[in-house]
Copies of this chain bind each other. A is one copy, B any other.
Amino acid sequence: MISEKMKPLVANNSAIRAMFEEGSQMKAIYGDDQVYDFSLGNPNVPAPPEVKQAILDILENEDPVYVHGYMSNAGFPETRKAIADSLNRRFDTHFTEKNILMTVGAASGLNVALKTLLNPGDQVITFAPYFVEYGSYVANYDGELVVVSPDTATFQPNLEEFEQKVSAKTKAVIINTPHNPTGVIYSEETLQRLAAILERKQEEFGTTIFLISDEPYRELAYDGAVVPYVTKYYRNTIVGYSYSKSLSLPGERIGYLVIPDEAEDAEQVIAAATIAIRVSGAVNAPSLMQLVIARCVDASVDVAYYDRNRNALYNGLIDCGFTCTKPQGAFYLFMKSPFADEKKFCEMAKKYHILMVPGSSFACPGYVRLAYCVSYETIQNSLPAFQALARECFPEK
């Protein structure tokens, strides 16, 4: 009965659901606090108090017809201006409200960007490991996702292979920084080299290639790490942002796209993206949350909370003898499986009530992802379990 495109997604989804159900069953049997669930990227830090205060203030002082009503498909002008001003202050950019389009989270923003740009058969390049939903998003518009294999030494993008894979059919490149699942931040040097390759290839093929930067984790950066603003390195950049992590509002579906004036045919791209928000069925980003953002544009969740988790989990795993890249940002830790088949490693970990996601789910087998957006107690309590797991993995030690 369902469409051919949906059939493989339904089949694949059953596997994911089976994993979740197994986790739920484990919690039902052993108790929530006896299962160490690192499988979900669902923030557990509450929204900052400014969010509640903003909602109360809006409900008290604004006309409900305005608060809950339609506005331009691109969003309330005051919200877009507040965001543009904030970006300009922080990153020395020069955006105005017309460069900012409010979207139903970053996932919807990426879809809007791809719907705006892609013709059937166009190629979109991304770098493994990557968030597998990118494949569905590109398929929504009959594009072809081209995956560059991982550089497991640094988890910076493999630019040699990238350069070979850029073709006359390349319409867009998706990057994600800070990065899910590795926690790596793309360095300024990486962005400069990436931009130089794109410039050369645009000239070689006489094409325009858009760099789509998926940045829901921008504010989650540790040890003073700088997350370079991508529009400053390459003019044909579209930034997709979300408040899911920075304000812990993942369920509210609120984010934005940045389309700079310097981008090729910027005016037309902005017009088309605005229409794409409408005809995709979203119509506009949720109105009350847009007004909240206008009031909370510089608020942030408590990043120190995630940082404490990061250090505790990283140090604990290193002490156990596991090999991990220390995350610079986001709330994920990518750990090397002690043996090639990381799915077997994930199965073994379940005996110790530890739930992790196999790297194969990010096109990077041999690794596992741990989402440390959990309570600090969960991390502390999990460490003896990881030690027991390590003893099984490294019996010689």
Give the B-binding residues of A (Cβ under 8 A).
1-7, 9-10, 13, 40, 42-47, 51-52, 55-56, 59, 63-65, 67-71, 104-105, 107-112, 115-119, 133, 136-137, 140-141, 208, 248-253, 264-265, 268-269, 271-272, 275-276, 278-290
Contact = CB atoms under 8 A, between A and B. Distances in A.
Nearest to A9: B275
A1 B265 contact: yes
Q: Label chain A's interface by main secondary structure.
A: helix
A36 B346 CA distance: 66
A133 B13 CA distance: 30
Nearest to A67: B251
B65 A46 contact: yes
A107 B288 CA distance: 19
Given A250-B69, A252-B68, A281 B105 contact: yes
Contact of A140 (B56, B268, B280): B280
20 contacts: A2-B117, A3-B115, A5-B115, A7-B272, A10-B275, A51-B68, A64-B248, A67-B251, A69-B250, A69-B251, A70-B251, A104-B104, A105-B281, A107-B282, A108-B281, A108-B282, A111-B280, A133-B278, A137-B279, A253-B282
Looking at A47, A68, A251, A280, which has the most chain B CB atoms within 10 Å of its CB? A251
